[in-house]
Chain A
């Protein structure tokens, strides 16, 4: 028995969310005060305020939560985490909800469908080269996921190139094999914790 052990109460989904977060997010402490929703820069564009999501997590409304666009509108500004009177690690919970939504394939149907695609494209480059490749990221992300918007973004790309703020080719780290081995092992650990 340990003094720090928490009682196993709450919905199955609540424990899924807490368990999928690397460091205990203290989600059970939420007072429903709304400081997070009030502080959020993109709060008005969210289908549910973070506080609402936490109530729904406690109530076990798994699918509604994972289909919500809320986590995808999180800009990682940490205002909520900083101000939360109960020290809930809200930003970390948002990351967890994004991962669970991707796993279930719900993210593709939300009104923020672009967000996971952007994250995934970003990751592909990092996995291949070890560093981010902005020109490649923008080109591939827009051509593959938002072909119609490519025209809009093109002048920005051209401006970046003209000012030498984009590389034409990616920069690869020397020990890319080492990085890929580490990421592969991390992937295994994630799959079989």
Chain B
């Protein structure tokens, strides 16, 4: 098989039912074109997204994970998105320690009226992942494994 000229990353997108999934619907209805790289999963709220889901996606071959929810203060479930944000920040710190670039897991806010905004986020992330190249989970994490005790030492000391 010939080497592809441009690398097309695959992104797993967790879209909250109330804002971001509707934003994606709106982007389509408005015929806003964007990179066909995001494979969507509808969740009721970004707060439902477990770190395990993100890890699973990366382990199973995704090059990146996009989590999209309502703007802070506009969550359908009061503040599920804030919970998602806190969890996301923790997860991101952990992934960085594993040697996974921070651009690979992103959290964006997209209201139901912001189809264009969501489309732009997918485009932007696609470009960033293109620049990074494929995520070779096995190699990346195996390489990082050697460093893990070091990190633990630092934390302990």
Contact = CB atoms under 8 A, between A and B. Distances in A.
A1 B120 contact: no
A172 B148 CA distance: 63
Contacts of B27: 3
A5 B119 CA distance: 12
Contacts, number: 18
Contacts of A5: 33
A4 interface: yes
B104 interface: no
Interface in B96-149: 116, 119-120, 122-123
Interface string B2-33: 00000000000000000000000001000011
A3 B116 CA distance: 7
Contacts of A4: 120, 123
18 contacts: A1-B33, A1-B34, A1-B35, A2-B33, A2-B34, A2-B123, A3-B27, A3-B32, A3-B33, A3-B34, A3-B116, A3-B119, A3-B120, A3-B122, A3-B123, A4-B120, A4-B123, A5-B33
Nearest to A5: B33
Nearest to A3: B119
Given A1-B33, A3-B119, A3-B120, 14 more contacts: A1-B34, A1-B35, A2-B33, A2-B34, A2-B123, A3-B27, A3-B32, A3-B33, A3-B34, A3-B116, A3-B123, A4-B120, A4-B123, A5-B33
A1 to B, nearest CB: 4
Of all A-B residue pairs in the complex, the 5 with the closest CB atoms, nearest first, are: A3-B119, A1-B33, A3-B120, A3-B34, A3-B123
A4 B27 CA distance: 12
Interface string A1-30: 111110000000000000000000000000
